[in-house]
Amino acid sequence: MVEIFDFVLGMLSILLCVLAINVYFGIFFERKECTPKVYFVWLVYLLRQLISLNGSFRPVVNIALNIILFVLIACVQFKGDLFQKVVYAVTLITFYLLIEFTTALILMYIDFYDNVDIAVGSIISNCCILIIMLVLKKFYKKESIRKLPFKYNLLLLLVPAGSIYILYNIFMLCFNNTYSIDQIMISFFLIFVINIIIFNLYLRLSEELQLRMKNVVYENQIILNSKYIIEKERIFNELRTSKHDMKHHLSTLIEILKRNDIDQAVGYIENIFEKNELKDYTFVESGNIIVDSLINSKYAIAIANAIDFSGEIQVPVSLPYKATDLCIVLGNILDNALEASEKLPVGDRYIKLFVKYRMEELVIVCVNSFNGSVKLDESGLFMTTKKDNDQHGIGIASVKKIAKKYAGNVLYECTDNEFMVKILLLKQ
């Protein structure tokens, strides 16, 4: 009867633990769809917990297995950076050890520590952990955790990892009566406070990086607008020069035609075309000022850099999207396409742009030539190949964020010498 009661208490403790883990990782990471891998990892975790009810593992092995299983759970059930998940998993283990060791010391202090009481103590510990996780969820439910650079994750990982080592050794010394219960409780409290402070700093650092990302987006918008203004001024000046020159050309043609010298007149006109004095920087005239001006300005840059620019634009005069959002999306993908094409020899450079709005959906497809060099992140997604990743990677993130805002999507495809981006934006 006692064994059955122990087993029931153990299962209740495991259930509380599972809930706490789910709540904890759910605060900071986006959930994936449930797959057989998720159920398999949870099954392994439950089996390990059931085996541990009999005290089959040494404490060090127990801690190591928990860290591995927590990381596996985070990887199969939640999206995000692997090393960041390791940091959160180790931090969770630290909180668990603090609560469990504190509960055990209190039970020992009041001489309440036989087999049944251990199971009760485990339930108390898991209840405390679950309450802490729910409090964290209340405070950090709107946190936007941005991937931190590896060096920051590594430095921040040292604090909870070091805390686990210190906690384990302090608890072991307790059995040798090296320290009093009061001293140990104070030590545990200080370690708990330090870890809470570091954990909060970690979140603030992530928030700071997110703010920096937004600032860079705004800076990029300003740069994009500045480029657009400069390009429009250049086009205007060239058109004004062409208009001025055209007056001289027409005067000359009139004099030639008055002499009925048709061959000379034809030759003169052909010479004008050969010198490319009649430049046309208009690629699209849809009537949509934002789309037309931005694409035409990029088209002018493409012409100036010997990039073959083709495609088809079918959009109405008015679109149900913010002008700034359209500028960011079109500006970023065309800037990336121009930069990639410029790296190739003249003759191999091309950009194909297709923009169509139909059935309240805006579809943008941009295909460009490139040198075949790509960089993928841990999730297999394309990343910037520029040296300043923290800055230039913002463009890719901005496009994805805007697509998500309009319930759309961004897809990247590439072959050995061609890169394609497909963007879908829905009407809000």
- Burial of 416 from C-beta contacts in 10 A (0-12 / 13-18 / 19+): exposed
Q: Provide, rounded to the nearest whole percent, the portion of the chain with pLDDT above 70.
A: 76
- The answer on 297 and 192 residing in a single domain is no
Is residue 315 over pLDDT 80? Answer: yes
- The answer on 197 and 288 residing in a single domain is no
Is residue 217 over pLDDT 70? Answer: no
Q: What is the mean pLDDT of residues 212-222?
A: 69
pLDDT at 333: 92
Of 154, 184, 210, the last residue of a domain is 210
pLDDT tens digit string along 76-117? 888 877 877 888 888 888 888 888 777 777 776 676 555 445
Phi–psi pair at 240, nearest 5 degrees: -65, -40
Tell me the pLDDT band of 1, cut-offs 50, 70 and 90. low
- The answer on 310 and 192 residing in a single domain is no
Is residue 239 over pLDDT 60? Answer: yes
pLDDT at 141: 53
In a domain, 371, yes or no: yes
Of 181, 210, 239, the last residue of a domain is 210
pLDDT at 391: 47
Q: What is the mean pLDDT of residues 258-283?
A: 73
Domain assignment of residue 286, given as a range? 282-426
Rounded to a whole number of angstroms, the distance between the first and last alpha carbons of the chain is 61
In a domain, 273, yes or no: no
pTM of the model: 0.53
In a domain, 356, yes or no: yes
pLDDT tens digit string along 161-197? 787 777 777 767 666 665 566 677 777 778 878 877 8
pLDDT tens digit string along 350-382? 999 999 999 889 999 999 998 877 655 544 455
- The answer on 395 and 295 residing in a single domain is yes
Phi–psi pair at 350, nearest 5 degrees: -160, 155
Is residue 229 over pLDDT 90? Answer: no
350, two tokens = 């091309």
pLDDT at 361: 93
With beta carbons less than 8 A apart as the criterion, state whether 213 and 207 touch.
no
- The answer on 192 and 54 residing in a single domain is yes
Q: What is the mean pLDDT of residues 309-329?
A: 89
pLDDT at 378: 47
Compare 297 and 388 and report the one with higher pLDDT. Answer: 297
- The answer on 173 and 317 residing in a single domain is no
- Residue ranges of alpha helices (H) inside 343-414 are 389-405
pLDDT at 352: 94
- The answer on 382 and 297 residing in a single domain is yes
In a domain, 218, yes or no: no
Tell me the pLDDT band of 313, cut-offs 50, 70 and 90. very high
Query: Which range in 49-58, 133-142, 262-271, 404-413 is most confidently predicted, on average pLDDT?
Result: 404-413
- The answer on 165 and 74 residing in a single domain is yes
Is residue 225 over pLDDT 70? Answer: no
pLDDT at 349: 94
- The answer on 292 and 169 residing in a single domain is no
- The answer on 169 and 318 residing in a single domain is no
- The answer on 319 and 191 residing in a single domain is no
In a domain, 114, yes or no: yes
Tell me the pLDDT band of 139, cut-offs 50, 70 and 90. low
Q: What is the CATH number of the domain that holds 372?
A: 3.30.565.10
CB count in 10 Å sphere of residue 121: 20
Q: SS in 3 state form for 243-279?
A: HHHHHHHHHHHHHHHHCCCHHHHHHHHHHHHHCCCCC
In a domain, 243, yes or no: no
**How many domains, in total, are found in the chain?**
2
Is residue 142 over pLDDT 60? Answer: no
- The answer on 294 and 198 residing in a single domain is no
Of 210, 236, 264, the last residue of a domain is 210
Is residue 137 over pLDDT 50? Answer: yes
Is residue 340 over pLDDT 60? Answer: yes
190, two tokens = 């200080």
> Which of these, 91, 1, 94, 77, lies nearest to 34 by C-alpha position?
77
pLDDT at 309: 93
In a domain, 410, yes or no: yes
In a domain, 246, yes or no: no
**H or E segment and range at residue 11:** helix 2-28
83, two tokens = 């090393």
